[in-house]
Amino acid sequence: MTAGLVLDAVSVELGGKSVLKAVSLHVAPGERVVLAGPSGSGKSTLLRAVAGLAAVQGGSIHIDGRRIDTLPSAQRDVAMMFQSYALFPHLSVLDNLTFGLRARGSSKTAADEQAAAVAATLGLKQLLARKPGALSGGERQRVALGRALLRQPKALLLDEPLSSLDAQLRTTARAEIVRAHTGSAAAMLLVTHDQAEAMALADRIGILKDGLLQQLAAPRTVYARPANRFVAQFLGSPAMNLFEVRLALDGGLWWKNARLADAVAAAPLSKGGAATLGLRPEHLALPGSRWAAASQSSAVLQARITGVEAGGDQQIVWLEAEGERVAARTEPEWVARVGELVPVTLQLDPACWFASEGEGLLL
């Protein structure tokens, strides 16, 4: 028996269209797995399949060894927090929180006691008598979270829990979710399209595309070693720069008409071969930038500065080389002169190499 939530080759069809294709994943008790992916990738459908709101056509879902995909929602021991929060507008915060316990036959006093405990951790104590309509967005979000946590379900499903909040609140709410879940034995599966949220919340991130799980790994791994080009471009803002490079017979590295290096120490391609070189913007070092870390293996690209996006703690410098746009990240103090031609150092040590044919990561 595997503890936690286990999806084994789960396939879901909606209206004759295949939305999830044999997705397998495991969320351990107390673990937070975040599913990220573009709209229509099937991430919400996956949550709905676990909750019993979407029928599963293939594969199986188990919680603590008990098969649940054949059970009605109520018997699955899962709780779900909806993007819209789905609070009952006619019930007070207290009644919203205790709805599930009362529906399952708990006495009012027992349910109210449990609600009081959850309300205390989420800072809802003063709001218990109010109706959802009289709450702010952040308060509603906390009530919805509290309702999901209250029954201490084995699996906790959160569907875009923060997308209705403004940016400021989102950061604090993120921390709140982590705090509320810490110490709980629930396997948490959270869906988001916001990559910053995914990175911040996850023990492991799963990237979905077209109903297929592309990669499932720790946030740092998914960011630094994306399994394929799609993942590389989905995570990170701006996205990873991709260069279609060739290794010449004399050992030189070429990108289009630019010779980037005379020799490359560790490249997974043979002389005369081609590959895709992936570099995060922070791995493009601009001359004189303090952020230019040492790299044993490097290459140089002549590029023209076409624009600068200032950020408080960083800046994005947009460059043009060989007719393509390339992004570099520097410290905000670095002075960029638009139109200037600069030598950009490509740090090859942290680089990702993808196969030219197909998508996968080579090194």
Partner 1 sequence: MKHRLHLWGWSLPGLLLLAGLVVLPALLTLPLALLHFDGVSAPRFAGAENIARLWSDPLFWQSLSNSLKVLFISVPLRLLLALGLALLLHRNGPGIGIGRAAALAPGVTPDIAWALIWLFLLNPLYGPVALLLPLIGIAPDAWLTQPGVARGLLSFMTLWLIGELTVVLIAARQELGNDVYEAARIEGASAWHIFTRVTLPLLMPVLVLLACRDAALSFQTSLTPALIITKGGPQYGTLLLPMYAYQNGFEYLRFGYAAAIQLALFVITVLLIAVQLRWLRKWAMQGR
Which residue ranges make up the site for partner 1 (CB under 8 A)? 51-53, 72-74, 76, 78-80, 82, 84, 86-91, 95, 99-100, 103-104, 147, 151
**Which residue, 81 or 319, has its beta carbon nearer to partner 1?**
81
**Of 49, 44, 43, 80, which Cα lies nearest the Cα of 62?**
49
Work out how close the CB of 163 gets to partner 1 at its nearest, in angstroms, rounded to a whole number.
14
**Which residue, 100 or 252, has its beta carbon nearer to partner 1?**
100
**Which residue, 87 or 286, has its beta carbon nearer to partner 1?**
87
Task: Judge contact between 7 and 22, C-beta under 8 A.
Answer: no
Q: How far apart are CA 33 and CA 229, in angstroms?
A: 22
Work out how close the CB of 104 gets to partner 1 at its nearest, in angstroms, rounded to a whole number.
5
- H or E, element range at 244: strand 241-247
Work out how close the CB of 147 gets to partner 1 at its nearest, in angstroms, rounded to a whole number.
8
**Which residue, 88 or 338, has its beta carbon nearer to partner 1?**
88
**Which residue, 77 or 320, has its beta carbon nearer to partner 1?**
77
**Pairing mode of beta strands 324-330, 212-217:** unpaired
Q: What are phi and psi of 331, to 5 degrees?
A: -70, 155
Work out how close the CB of 86 gets to partner 1 at its nearest, in angstroms, rounded to a whole number.
4
Work out how close the CB of 110 gets to partner 1 at its nearest, in angstroms, rounded to a whole number.
15
Work out how close the CB of 142 gets to partner 1 at its nearest, in angstroms, rounded to a whole number.
16
**Which residue, 103 or 175, has its beta carbon nearer to partner 1?**
103
Residue 190, judged by CB atoms within 10 A of its CB (0-12, 13-18, 19+), counts as: buried
HSE value, Cβ hemisphere, 13 Å, CA-based, for 295: 22
Work out how close the CB of 102 gets to partner 1 at its nearest, in angstroms, rounded to a whole number.
8
Q: What angle do CA 315, 39, 56 make, to 5 degrees?
A: 140
HSE value, Cβ hemisphere, 13 Å, CA-based, for 48: 16
**Which residue, 112 or 348, has its beta carbon nearer to partner 1?**
112
C-alpha distances (whole Å) from 288 to each of 89, 224, 282 are 58, 25, 14
- H or E, element range at 217: strand 212-217
Distance of CA 20 to the CA centre of its chain: 18
